Structure 1
């Protein structure tokens, strides 16, 4: 499930690869000017979920826009994708509400589980090209109870895992 794209400004382990970061950045940067504006970011978020508010977009932009120029450049986007910022830290509840909202975007049938087909549907909406089989492999990588689905506890563990403290390969 490492290939989940960012939602509610949550980093994705999938985007630790420089080429994937750049590819995703370019999808957000609709006009190709080398920076993501609030309007471009809003457009992507609204494609994911129709109920994204201007306030939501503003909060996410503020978290990623470290040089405070009103845009997200490739460096800021890459830093975010590598998990070097934690936009959930400032919410006071550990980001529980935002994590639940992100989980619910994927859990389309609202049964408390993300299936390979639900993950595939969301990634397809985001313009990702993958198969349901690819999504099943992603799910298997975080499915600690081996039921073939990702429940909220598994999702939360994956999304809040501090990768910066993990041992790095030599």
Structure 2
């Protein structure tokens, strides 16, 4: 890792890792990696998942531990997402293609990742992001949050 992660970034990676490590084994196996891809709407075959695992599994153990996960994912903190990546991320949430992320859409996607999220949690998330106060997240608000910018 060419740059050091700050404590907030490291915590975000730990939280993300724990979501991916659905069996709490301390590592991500091929099956879990495929599930993550599918929950993100990324259709991958066995060959693609195995190749992704090979790239991430630096010690050849057959799974990705937290240290390997950090090494692979940390670079994401130091680069700007492409416009295509931002579009794809927004579209993952905007299920009905309305141009907005509603409470229901955010709840549906977040439940796939965290499982025990409540509508109250979702409402708080929307309030934190929703600058025009229309109780939904538009693309501009979404991108501002992803890029950690002011709207």
Distance in 1, Cα, partners of 2:130 & 2:122:
12
Change (3 A) 1:87 1:39: farther
Match of 2:146 in 1: 159
Whole-Å separation in 2 of the counterparts to 1:147 and 1:52:
33
Gaps of 5+ in 2: 1-7
Q: Which residue of 2 aligns with 1:44?
A: 36
2:118 paired with 1:131: yes
On the 8 A contact 1:48/1:125 being kept in 2, the answer is no
Q: Provide the C-alpha distance between the structure 1 equivalents of 2:53 and 2:147, rounded to a whole number of angstroms.
A: 16
Q: Which moved more, 1:21-30 or 1:114-123?
A: 21-30
| Structure whose CA Rg is larger | 2
Instruction: Decide whether aligned partners of structure 1 residues 44 and 86 sit closer, same or farther in structure 2, where only a CA change above 3 A counts.
Output: closer
1:99 aligned partner: 86
More helix by share: 2
Cα gap change, 1:151 to 1:60, in 2 (>3 Å): farther
The corresponding residue for 2:4 is none
Q: 1:7 aligns to what?
A: none
Say yes or no: does 1:68 pair with 2:55. Answer: no
Q: Which has the higher contact order (CA 8 A, sep 6+)?
A: 1
Distance 2:83 2:33 in 1: 23
Q: Is the 8 A contact 2:90 2:139 kept in 1?
A: yes
In structure 2, the residue matched to 1:53 is 44
Q: d(CA) in 2 for partners of 1:149 and 1:57?
A: 38
If the length of structure 1 is used for normalisation, what is the TM-score? 0.61
Matched residue, 1:122: 109
Residue of structure 1 in register with 2:132 after alignment = 145
Partner of 2:76: 86
SS in 1 for 2:76: coil
Name the CA shift for 1:59/1:95 in 2 (closer, same or farther; >3 Å): farther
